[in-house]
Structure 1
């Protein structure tokens, strides 16, 4: 039953991303760092975007408007350019299979995120004290960070991490770092007499 629902979700995502299918294939290779220069390209693109936003020194509402305009322009122009450069004859069965894998990956990650959010909110019923400790401490930490650090810089860091994360996971960098942290010798505290 769950596989049937997942297949329906994959078909829906495929229909939604139909115009983007030619752009998604190279985008996947960039996000997964298939070339050594891909992380630098991601970092440079995000840096240029946020440097431009910083130079414009817009208010928060104007910044959201400009980012929304850019996203709408990209959503409008990418399918047109993709269809112009790559005609329908260049779309092969192998590319279709890769496109379906991308859509399936999107659905799997979306469902995993939704499951984690639902598990967190189910803690409210199962373990209300843990739920409130986690949520209050997270909100206090976010409020402290937002008041101490420039919001554009925080959004820059967040965007960079989100865009680099697929490549970090693909290369196993996070798991390597976590294993190194686990292997570090424990610091013992000296007891005073």
Structure 2
């Protein structure tokens, strides 16, 4: 397996992301602490917020197209109102060098995660040329499993579980919970079947 390499244009990507999130920069700093669970109540706040949002979606009982429209309206409203609130609460003088360094670190970690995910997707698709049999076995198995799960379980519930997983995953990785569970599984006593 090829080693992951950092793209040469990562600094340019960081600068672009910093410009893109310019209006959100005062909101990004507290969101980092919530996403990485710097307080014990942060995971509960994440689960509660997502649960409330999906409860409202379930309560409205809209069809799929109307649900996408309402979510789009909500995201546009949030994208408009957050920079306005941040600029009115925090003036330009409240932005310090420490804030800028933290903001740049956040942007660098977002870009690095994006590049790593893109690299993994490219590696998967490169298997089409290097190992077509394995590529088709994996992709067909994954798509059949996804179709079976999607037809068996409510799609809104699946989106709810995926949203909670995606929002809790950075905190799980930051706290080392996944590695702890993995090491516990590896340390578990192995039982071997005895042949008679």
1:150 aligns with 2:115: no
Per the normalisation by structure 1, the TM-score is 0.96
**1:168-183 paired onto structure 2 within 5 Å:** 168-183=172-187
CA deviation profile, 1:41-60 (whole Å, cap 9, x unmatched): 00000000001111111111
Distance 1:113 1:170 in 2: 18
Distance 1:18 1:147 in 2: 41
1:5 aligns with 2:9: yes
Question: Which residue number in structure 1 is paired with residue 56 of structure 2?
Answer: 52
Select the residue among 104, 124, 128 that pairs with 1:100.
Answer: 104
Select the residue among 126, 131, 146 that pairs with 2:130.
Answer: 126
SS at match of 2:125: helix
1:63 aligns with 2:39: no
How many residues align? The count is: 191
Question: Which residue number in structure 2 is paired with residue 31 of structure 1?
Answer: 35
Question: Which residue number in structure 1 is paired with residue 18 of structure 2?
Answer: 14
Question: Which residue number in structure 1 is paired with residue 92 of structure 2?
Answer: 88
SS at match of 1:63: helix
Q: 1:43 to 1:131 in 2, by over 3 A?
A: same
CA deviation profile, 1:36-79 (whole Å, cap 9, x unmatched): 10000000000000011111111111111111111111111000
Shift of 1:184: 1.6
Q: CA RMSD in A?
A: 1.1
Distance 1:111 1:117 in 2: 10
Shift of 1:189: 2.8
Question: Which residue number in structure 2 is paired with residue 163 of structure 1?
Answer: 167
Gaps of 5+ in 2: 1-5
Per the normalisation by structure 2, the TM-score is 0.94
Gaps of 5+ in 1: none
1:139 aligns with 2:158: no
Select the residue among 181, 188, 193 that pairs with 1:189.
Answer: 193
CA deviation profile, 1:128-172 (whole Å, cap 9, x unmatched): 011011101110110000000000000000000000001000000
